[in-house]
Amino acid sequence: MKQQRPYPQVIVTRKAARALAGGHPWVFEGEVRRMEPAPADGRAAQNGDVVDVVEQNGTWQGVGLLSEQSKIRVRVVSRNANDRINEAFWARKLQWAWDYRKATMGSRALPGCEPDTNCCRVLFSEADGFPGLVVDRYEDVLVSQVGTVGMQRLRPTLYPLLLDVLRSDGQDIRGIYERNDAPSRLKEGLAQEKGWWVEDGRPMPDSARVIAHENGIAYDLDLENSQKTGFFLDQKYNRRAVRELARGRRVLDCFCHVGPFGLNAAAGGAEFVREVDVSQTAIDLARENARLNNLEATMDFTCANVLEYLPELVSDKKRLREEGGPFDLIVLAPPAFTKSRGTVDHAAHGYREINEWAMRLLPRGGYLATCSCSHFMTRDLLARAIAEAAHNANVQLRQIEERQQAPDHPILWGVPETHYLDFFVFQVV
């Protein structure tokens, strides 16, 4: 006789079962046929509970976390029927996640620089089997974002386990700052909030400001008020690609945010770097980061809308010279132009436009680093937009390399949402 499982059941369609078999962990609202109580004790499922996913024909398909207010009704965390979703289960997965970071990033530091794991994404939601939970490390502070009710309920279990994994490995972590202020939490019925997680037996840190180091460059980060969790860690190795091309070149860094691409270019020996962003706050932080790294002598800063700035430089040679041009290396790292399938065509137009203007600015032999950070703007759609831009600008591109997000943001095959960053480096020939 088969042992009765202890979890309530979600009975799903054949379509849902096929998707799970293909590796995608989501069960959508419309794929749920009914809910049934736990076979062992008759307990009904509550929001955020662990539930078994069972096909209508009775075939067990996995075990996951229930989100009653979300269109994604269940997020599967295991398809191994031997797993019991307890503290030991989560402890194993946390250890695996940290071991993966050490394996993929632990030996890649630049000579004389900090370990690449000092600032990295420790947990990447579904890609690590923690749906709705992101944890980034900035030196001795972890910053978490919780986006699902299941992970919200598990915080008191997961946080101490994660701290134990890191501290047992000799990592000095003084606390966890929660940035649970994303609007997407409202779809799960969760309040928006931020602040230090209270750890038993330890005082809360007195500041959410951190001097973080990446690629040997220091950044003054305000973890409480900055974008996302404080910094865009996913471009770590793409910044190195720009750094390797920058020596002796005049660099234009568009959508610079707090300056990481430009700072890497300057550290790599660029003759001059112009940083451009529409946010004056970002420009002020980029300027401060240049000063912090003693790179301000080769960098200057402009607050402008890049979509207006680039065509202005193309049409006005005097303005181009005033800004430090002509440039022979241009970096385009815009924010996501689309966050839904319905706006992909509009986004493609935007990517095509900025790349065309950049190509018109570059001389023959110049270099272009360009990317998209939206999973809706797929690699092939981005490549098509870039190719159309080259055609319109009457130039030919020689590809140097094609990259994605850093490995601490792993791409899980079968889950296209985990692949969101595509990065190309070209020479204009």
For residue 386, CA distances in Å to 256, 290, 345, 351 come to 20, 31, 14, 7
Domain boundaries, the chain: 9-78, 87-212, 232-428
pLDDT at 1 over 50: no
Query: Does residue 146 or residue 231 have the better pLDDT?
Result: 146
Report whether 225 contacts 279 (CB < 8 A).
no
CA atoms within 13 A on the CB side of 191: 3
Q: What is the mean pLDDT of residues 146-173?
A: 97
- Integer Cα distance of 277 and 267 in angstroms: 20
Adjacent-strand bridge partners of 196:
177
In what helix (H) or strand (E) does residue 73 lie, and over which residues does it extend?
A: strand 72-78
Task: Tell me which residues are annotated as active site.
Answer: 373
Write down the mean pLDDT value for the chain: 95
Reported as a single tens digit per residue, the pLDDT across 5-57 is: 899 999 999 999 999 999 999 999 999 999 999 998 899 999 999 999 999 99
DSSP, res 328: S
In 113-269, which residue ranges form alpha helices assigned H by DSSP? Answer: 149-168, 236-245, 260-267
What is the per-residue pLDDT for 74?
Answer: 98
- Integer Cα distance of 231 and 119 in angstroms: 10
Lowest pLDDT segment from 22-26, 117-121, 345-349, 358-362: 345-349
Backbone conformation region of residue 49, classed left if phi is above 0, alpha if psi is from -120 to 50, else beta = beta
Adjacent-strand bridge partners of 330:
252, 368
- Integer Cα distance of 152 and 187 in angstroms: 13
- Quote the percentage of the chain above a pLDDT of 90: 89
pLDDT at 106 over 90: yes
If one looks up domain 87-212 in CATH, what number appears? 3.30.750.80
Strands 26-28 and 299-303: unpaired
Lowest pLDDT segment from 61-70, 200-209, 257-266, 405-414: 200-209
pLDDT at 224 over 60: yes
Report whether 258 contacts 286 (CB < 8 A).
yes
Total Cβ atoms within 10 A of residue 211: 11
DSSP, res 314: H
pLDDT at 340 over 90: no
What is the per-residue pLDDT for 8?
Answer: 97
Q: Structure pTM?
A: 0.94
Class of domain 232-428: alpha beta
pLDDT at 3 over 90: no
Q: What is the mean pLDDT of residues 81-110?
A: 97
What is the per-residue pLDDT for 196?
Answer: 96
For residue 146, CA distances in Å to 183, 195, 197, 271, 370 come to 11, 13, 12, 43, 30
Report whether 290 contacts 259 (CB < 8 A).
yes
pLDDT band at residue 2 under the 50/70/90 scheme: low
Q: What is the mean pLDDT of residues 92-111?
A: 97
If one looks up domain 9-78 in CATH, what number appears? 2.30.130.10
- Positive or negative, the Cα torsion across 184, 188, 193, 198? negative
